[in-house]
A and B are shown apart, each in its own frame.
Chain A
């Protein structure tokens, strides 16, 4: 009997050490850049930051703001100030307390550090005021409602002032934040290891003890690693592998429509090439072009129906989608009429596309579709960095390009469509749209903003400066033992709630 009790005890001990050693290994599609929230640029780096650095606020799967380091926030009546109440029991990984002064330090760092990539995201912030040790107030010259969304990402990440001052520009080599996991080591292009931060305010909800992020660039190999048990989950499963993974009972498949879009920028006024292009001459050519495209067919042919067709800067399942402007049905005869009325029955143009099979397939499908209406479309595939430069200089007629997407619709839109927008490479300009955009930014009231977006959507459906095609879906594959993963449209892997059975 004694022996039985002893062996049971031993088993119990073994089980408890086994559960104490939960190690989650995640395969990433790229190697992240520097792990400093102020200096970082890449999407893949943001996945690692989700474990490493807490933000003022976060979003949930329905894109609602939820507390993180700030437990409450409120806008001033003139919409020019936001006041944050900070979480009282939060600490940095080096044991330093998180107070208003630390938040002020981080926001100031984002705004003023040399080489900061956050400045453009929050440059509307003009004053940062420590009201009391647990309250901080951020002020702007003019109302800017999209600001809160910026604090759900890297611009809202708070770093330890002590560690940041000590490390200077080398902070990213050994980042000290306050996320649920702290930095252990990084081998460039091989792995990033984090371990659980026991003093995290939400530690009870984080069950995994150690997380290793492994960049495995080749999609096929990433999946092979999952199948052979080298990793437990992977991000960005290739669309071509989705059917296989769904069939495989030893794997679990999760998907979520993202915040981004794939679209076509039409050059309507950028240099003479734009002004003289078929799209620059007459808006009816642009309307005819859109009417010739069957978005659903693109989705079926190229993406096995896994993506979500769309005609706006946010996907149809997003709260900001304007339902009164639905996706138009393909209508070749109407497109032909429009071209005839414009006096250009056979418009000829070149579509610039970025490298990759998918971009090429999408372009070829469009080429075949618009041909039926009379368009003569040539395809020109150009290396990414070069295509960006050509786009900026106006050396294109149509440019098929994607945008990774932002939480607030303003981030998917204003820079691309406003008259002096930094990414408005087609140089479409309409003062009425600019005025409405100003309205959307000047209030944090959802209905008021939504009304302004509705007016904009109607104008753009008529003027058609860019054609939105579809919204990519994010695919994850994982071992069935990974439980509790909740996908969020920003596609970042939140570790809260994840368990390994």
Chain B
């Protein structure tokens, strides 16, 4: 177990270095001069020259990278050019919001997707299966921004039950915090629930056809026990991996959903930063989410390890 964990952690290090180089390189491909984008409407040449100097934009690319990575290794992600706030502070402020939203969305996705997948597999080719499939297809194909605006119109404008947008920290009021997050989490969660449902269904169908399930049934085990104890445990493995990937994606910020519900998370931060060519923020956030993604994959592998005895051998 320990050697496995150490090996997996060591493999992550070159991946993170690779991410840092890609992040740095990719934004150099962005057209448009960052100093010009930041100089404001006036485009004062003096201001532009000063911006270039302050943010080392006049240095060769490799030196810019070394300056940046050197600071990152000392725990300094740089400073947002637009907001004049340290990127570390911004990340620290947004991360809890994004984690909370992602966790709620995942919870909703699991609560809807996994049971729906199981039921539609067990009741294959019945009305329940067709119904679950139709809902799943809808969840996959309805665009987030549309569903979001429809929900706002229904629950906020017409019924007045939920705030239309904004975010309240859980420390201020837990009930209001949940009220502000439930709609965006639902919008994000339904899309993922559909993916979960389809994967759970196909994995369950494959497992339910296998020999050991037939054996279990032949032993006279009751159906719920066959399904939940024997079949689901094997079928759930690919769903765990999928969950980790989806969660990682949510951590990168759900751009459109955050925009619509004015949730101050990673997604809005990155979009603003890209349009304003605020490189330090883009680099810092992508590096953090990249590292987070690797960490989640590591967790998924470890969960595998616990769920699947064969990997322990």
Contacts and interface: CB of A to CB of B under 8 A. Distances in A.
Interface of A: 31, 33-34, 36, 39, 41, 114-117, 119-121, 169-170, 172-173, 187-191, 214-218, 220-221, 224-225, 227-230, 383-386, 388-389, 392, 403-404, 415, 422-423
A189 B273 CA distance: 12
A394 B84 CA distance: 32
Contacts, number: 138
Contacts of B33: 385, 388-389
A114 B40 contact: no
Given A228-B163, A383-B31, A385-B275, A221 B149 contact: yes
Contacts of A114: 50, 54
B115 interface: no
B36 interface: yes
B148 to A, nearest CB: 8
A189 B268 contact: yes
Contacts of B275: 384-385
A224 B164 CA distance: 7
B259 A188 contact: no
B40 A117 contact: yes
A91 to B, nearest CB: 27
Contact of A422 (B31, B44, B169, B277): B44
A385 B262 contact: no
Given A386-B31, A422-B42, A228 B164 contact: yes
B154 to A, nearest CB: 10
Contacts of B90: 188
Interface of B: 31-34, 36-38, 40-47, 50-51, 54, 82-85, 90, 93-94, 149, 152-153, 156-157, 160, 163-167, 169, 259-262, 264, 268-269, 272, 275-277
A117 B43 contact: no
B286 to A, nearest CB: 18
A218 B259 contact: yes
Contact of B44 (A120, A191, A224): A120
Contacts of B50: 114-115
Given A188-B90, A224-B157, A385-B37, A415 B42 contact: yes
A403 B82 CA distance: 20
Nearest to B278: A33
Nearest to A218: B260
A77 to B, nearest CB: 31
A107 to B, nearest CB: 17
B264 A115 contact: no
Give the one of A115, A119, A188, A389 with max B CB within 10 A: A188
Contacts of B164: 221, 224-225, 228, 230
B165 A230 contact: yes
A404 B41 contact: yes
Nearest to B156: A228
A221 B261 contact: yes
A220 B78 CA distance: 35
A36 B260 CA distance: 28
A383 B33 CA distance: 12
Given A41-B40, A224-B164, A227-B157, A190 B47 contact: no
Contacts of B84: 33-34, 36, 39, 169-170, 172
Given A228-B160, A385-B33, A386-B32, A221 B269 contact: no
Nearest to B160: A228
A221 B260 contact: yes
Contacts of A389: 31-33, 36
15 contacts: A31-B268, A31-B272, A33-B82, A41-B82, A114-B54, A120-B44, A121-B42, A188-B264, A190-B167, A214-B262, A216-B262, A220-B149, A221-B261, A224-B157, A230-B166
Contacts of A216: 165-166, 262
Given A119-B44, A172-B84, A187-B264, A221 B152 contact: yes
The 8 tightest CB contacts between A and B, nearest first, are A385-B32, A120-B44, A189-B264, A385-B37, A228-B156, A386-B32, A386-B31, A41-B40
B256 to A, nearest CB: 9
Contacts of B276: 385
Contacts of B51: 115
Give the one of A33, A172, A228 with max B CB within 10 A: A228
Contacts of B43: 388, 392, 422-423
A423 B48 CA distance: 13
Given A119-B46, A389-B32, A221 B262 contact: yes
A214 B166 contact: yes
Contacts of B54: 114-115
A224 B85 contact: no
A121 B149 CA distance: 42
A385 B277 contact: yes
Given A190-B262, A221-B261, A383-B32, A33 B160 contact: no
A384 B160 CA distance: 38
A228 B161 CA distance: 9
Contact of B93 (A116, A173, A188, A221): A188
Contacts of A39: 84
Nearest to B44: A120
B47 A119 contact: yes
A41 B38 contact: yes
Contacts of A33: 82-84
A388 B262 contact: no
Contacts of A386: 31-32
Contacts of A116: 47
A325 to B, nearest CB: 26
B85 A173 contact: yes
A224 B156 contact: yes
B41 A403 contact: yes
B166 A190 contact: yes
Contacts of B169: 187
A415 B40 CA distance: 14
Contact of B165 (A34, A120, A121, A221): A221
Contacts of A383: 31-32
Contacts of A190: 166-167, 262, 264
A367 B40 CA distance: 30
A173 B84 CA distance: 9
A415 B42 CA distance: 9
A120 B47 contact: yes
A225 B153 CA distance: 9
B81 to A, nearest CB: 9
Contacts of B166: 190-191, 214, 216, 225, 230
B83 A224 contact: no
Contact of B262 (A215, A404, A422): A215
B184 to A, nearest CB: 11
A172 B79 CA distance: 14
B43 to A, nearest CB: 6
Give the one of B41, B51, B153, B275 with max A CB within 10 A: B41
Given A31-B268, A191-B166, 16 more contacts: A31-B272, A33-B82, A33-B83, A114-B54, A120-B44, A187-B169, A188-B83, A188-B94, A216-B165, A221-B165, A224-B149, A224-B153, A225-B164, A383-B31, A385-B33, A388-B32
